[in-house]
Amino acid sequence: MNDRQATGSPVTDPPPADLLTVSDLHVDYAGRPAVRGVSLSLRRGEILGLVGESGSGKSTLCSAITGVLPAGARVRAAGLRFDGRELTELPPEDMRRIRASRIGVVPQRPMTSLSPSTPVLRQMRWYHDGHDLADLLAQVGLRAVLDRPRDHPHRFSGGQLQRLLIVLAALARQPDLLIADEPTTTLDATVQAQVLRLLLDLRDRLGPAILYVTHDLAVVAQICDRVGVMYAGRLVESGPVSQIFTAPRHPYTRALLAALPARTERGRRLGAMPGHTVAEVTLSRERGARAGSAGCAFAPRCPVVLARCHEEEPTPITMGTDVVRCHRAGETPEAEEDA
């Protein structure tokens, strides 16, 4: 899973330890699997993009890492290590402390994360009083908020609120890990670019690891070092952005890249591919599992499917810097076309 092993590193300079290591994580909601056997790692200062169509389990994975899954969710993992500590073994109080001080979350909808009936400036002061608020606000170009002590959230734009939440999540607390679950989905392209620049700048100055969930592969290409592609709860491919964008190995990744929208269509949600939706595939897999077969979840939509794919679930294979779950990962696309 670790691409360091594949690329090799200088003999005299041991590689930095991973900040976060997720090993074989499963999450079920009332018995329905949402995340299945996901393993990934994240180093300090690294930005990992997580992509996949709606319902593929991206938010569930984030919530499992931060320990905020709803009641009724069941989590199983071989390991969930954060900075050398096993999170699954921590008492809830310790987990809460780590979450509050070392893991920051930038939510998808800024409006729902702030109280609508309290002035924004007062809310900013609730969350951090020990820092120089004026300086932090200046860093995101919002020093003017100080002159608007009576303005409630609805008086601010989505982009302004999102930048204020980044102040709260990232600048004020300076977490080691920042989880941003589609933080720019509701923003227009110009404001999105501002927010992305802010996150990159923050990573360069403060060095947190960032897990960045998005539907937009163009955003991944812009800011991420590595990318993980999720499909029906599985991480089907992960590797450096340079590798995945130039030589994707999983047919689903290839389909996503082939459908990469033109610049004008950015922000379009993934999932416009022909074939069955994740929900349909999950349902047919559940039927298959009951009937004793459990093949690859992507098989019903896969353009290069083999009979084996309907029967046998592929296990992750490491190929260079890439990890892929596909029976045909070792073949060249030409060989697949010939088959």
Nearer to Mg ion, 51 or 167 (CB): 51
Q: Which does 66 bind (CB under 5 to 8 A by kind): ligand ATP, Mg ion, none?
A: none
Nearer to ligand ATP, 29 or 245 (CB): 29
Decide: helix, strand or coil at residue 105: strand
Q: Which does 60 bind (CB under 5 to 8 A by kind): ligand ATP, Mg ion, none?
A: ligand ATP
**Rounded least distance, CB 220 to ligand ATP, Å:** 14
Please, which residues bridge with residue 324 across strands? 237, 317
Nearer to Mg ion, 50 or 199 (CB): 50
Please, which of residues 254-283 interact with ligand ATP by CB under 6 A? none
Nearer to Mg ion, 51 or 324 (CB): 51
Q: Is 184 in the site for Mg ion (CB under 5 A)?
A: no
What span, in angstroms and rounded, lies between the C-alpha atoms of 22 and 97?
Answer: 20
Residue number of the CB closest to Mg ion reads 59
Q: Is 159 in the site for ligand ATP (CB under 6 A)?
A: no
Q: Which does 139 bind (CB under 5 to 8 A by kind): ligand ATP, Mg ion, none?
A: none
Please, which of residues 18-77 interact with ligand ATP by CB under 6 A? 29, 34, 52, 54-60, 70
Identity at 37, one-letter amino acid code: G
Nearer to ligand ATP, 31 or 84 (CB): 31
Q: How many residues bind Mg ion (CB under 5 A)?
A: 1
How many residues are present in the chain? 339
Nearer to ligand ATP, 156 or 231 (CB): 231
Cβ atoms within 10 A of the Cβ of 87, count?
Answer: 22
Sign (positive or negative) of CA dihedral 328, 329, 330, 336 = positive
DSSP annotation string for 198-249: HHHHHHHHH--EEEEE-S-HHHHHHH-SEEEEEETTEEEEEEEHHHHHHS--
Between the CA of residue 246 and those of 114, 168, 234, 253, 262, what are the distances in Å?
41, 36, 22, 11, 17
Sketch the per residue contact string, 50 through 69, with Mg ion: x for CB under 5 A, - otherwise.
---------x----------
Strands 177-181 and 209-213: parallel
CB distance 121 to 146 below 8 Å: yes
**Rounded least distance, CB 63 to Mg ion, Å:** 9
CB distance 104 to 179 below 8 Å: yes
Q: How many residues bind ligand ATP (CB under 6 A)?
A: 11
**Rounded least distance, CB 104 to Mg ion, Å:** 18
Cβ atoms within 10 A of the Cβ of 189, count?
Answer: 13
**Rounded least distance, CB 149 to ligand ATP, Å:** 35
**Rounded least distance, CB 63 to ligand ATP, Å:** 8
Strands 234-240 and 226-231: antiparallel
**Rounded least distance, CB 6 to ligand ATP, Å:** 27
> Tokens representing 8?
């090799």
Nearer to ligand ATP, 50 or 124 (CB): 50
Strands (E), 127-190: 177-181
Contact positions toward Mg ion, by CB under 5 A? Answer: 59
Contact positions toward ligand ATP, by CB under 6 A? Answer: 29, 34, 52, 54-60, 70
